[in-house]
Amino acid sequence: MGLSSVSIIIPNYNGEEILATNLGFVRRAAASYSAPVETIVVDDASKDGSIALIEKQFPEIRIVTHGTNRGFSEAVHSGVDAARYPIIVLLNSDVRPDSRFLAPLIGWFSRGDTFAVSPLICDPQGNPQRVSWNTPGIIRGEIRNQDWDIERARQLAAGGRPLKSLYASGGSAAIRKDMFIRLGGFLPLYQPFYYEDRDLATRAYQRGWQTYFEPRSRVVHDHHGTIHRFFAGRKIKIVSRRNRFFYLWLHLSRRHLARRHAPWILLRLFTRLLKLDTIYPAALLRALAGMGDVIRLKRELVRQGGFKPLEKIIEDIRGT
């Protein structure tokens, strides 16, 4: 079966300096792929010279513009709306793909159950990052990523073994467009950032759609993207912690929440207050303020049928 055509979607906000370098890597990757590729940059109301740079140096790239800054999720949604092809590849502006990273990813979409595929994500020194392939567990009421062996993963992949995951980073994932749309894309619950991509793959799994890890495909993530450049560290930590609460409350069973998650919340709250750490309490208060939205969404997921609690999903993935 031939490879599918691909739409690469890159959200951008004031990323002129990053784009000047990284779009060259994207261009080479598109040229090395044996099926049609389009690249779309969604400019989220930048105030720098991002658009002028693209128009001058990368005229083949399509530009979608927002009149006001709407955030990562909405930038992705605008890119998906504009995409012509059945497979979308989400790339952060600070991600540099290898020239031949597309074909190994897209090959998995010959399987009808494939929702998303994640490449091997490395730091600028070439060290693999654990975010590439999540083997999650529930420990002390929290979702934790377990240690993994990249060489073992490569051996399994070379032998044709599917490496299932519960997460493909929104900064470097290949996704089947029609499934993304049927899921409703990223939930606004998680705005402005973090956990929307983990939630998306979890909702896909509940429909029988799989996320895979493909270590033969490689990108470098430089971590100079919009979030860390334009948001204070304290705010990032609070939003991330709040959204982890949202994710767990939405996807864990009520039984697990009551017996294993809630007691640990109380213990952690007590210990954080003793240490004068205000981030955890602030995140918890913000999460509790959004509890009504979580309850509504959980009811909708159950009503749609096929809802499987997160702890059971993790058992499935770890057993394969």
| Runs of H (alpha helix) within the chain | 16-32, 50-57, 72-82, 102-106, 150-158, 177-182, 196-206, 226-230, 233-251, 254-256, 262-274, 279-289, 291-304, 310-318
**Can you give the pLDDT at residue 302?**
93
pLDDT band (50, 70, 90) for residue 119? very high
pLDDT of 225: 59
> What pLDDT score does 229 carry?
66
* pLDDT tens per residue across span 272-294: 999 999 999 999 999 999 999 99
At 136, the pLDDT band (50, 70, 90 cuts) reads confident
- Average pLDDT for residues 179-206, to the nearest whole number? 95
* 189 has pLDDT over 80: yes
Domain at 6-229, CATH from 3.90.550.10, 1.10.260.40, 3.40.50.2300, 3.40.640.10 = 3.90.550.10
Per-domain residue ranges of the chain: 6-229, 232-318
Q: Retrieve residue 128's tokens.
A: 């693999």
Averaged pLDDT score across all residues of the chain: 93
Which residues does residue 9 pair with via DSSP β-bridges, in sequence order? 40, 90
Alpha carbon distance 192, 194 (integer Å): 7
Across the range 115-137, mean pLDDT stands at 88
Quote the pLDDT of residue 255: 95
Q: Both tokens of residue 7?
A: 């739409």
Phi, then psi, of 164 in degrees rounded to 5? -75, 150
* β 87-91/62-65 pair status: unpaired
Compute the distance between CA of residue 184 and CA of residue 206 in angstroms, rounded to an integer: 14
What is the mean predicted confidence (pLDDT) over 175-189? 97
On whether the CB atoms of residues 98 and 214 are closer than 8 A, the answer is: no
Whether pLDDT at 226 is above 70: no
Banded pLDDT at 320 (limits 50, 70, 90): low
Q: For residue 306, which amino acid is it?
A: G
Q: How big is the chain, counted in residues?
A: 320
pLDDT digits (tens, 9 = 90+) for 228-238: 666 788 999 99
The pLDDT assigned to 95 comes to 96
pTM: 0.94
CB neighbour list of residue 224: distance below 8 Å, 6 or more residues apart: 18, 94
* Mean pLDDT across 125-145: 85
The span from the CA of 90 to the CA of 87, in Å, is 10
Among 80, 78, 84, 7, residue whose Cα is nearest residue 43: 78
Provide mean pLDDT across the span 69-93: 97
pLDDT for res 233: 86
Read off the pLDDT of each residue in 199-228 and give the average, rounded to a whole number: 88
Backbone angles phi, psi at 111, to 5 degrees: -85, 130
Closest C-alpha to 24, from 80, 106, 96: 96
- Examine the pLDDT at 1 and tell me if it is beyond 60: no
Residue 142 forms beta bridges with which residues?
A: 139
Q: How much is the pLDDT for 224?
A: 61
79: pLDDT confidence band, cut at 50, 70 and 90? Answer: very high
State how far the Cα of 174 lies from the Cα of 27, in Å rounded to an integer: 17
What percent of the chain lies above the pLDDT cut of 70?
96
With a cut of 60, say whether residue 150 has pLDDT above it. yes
Residue 230 has a pLDDT of 67
Mean pLDDT value across residues 28-42 = 97
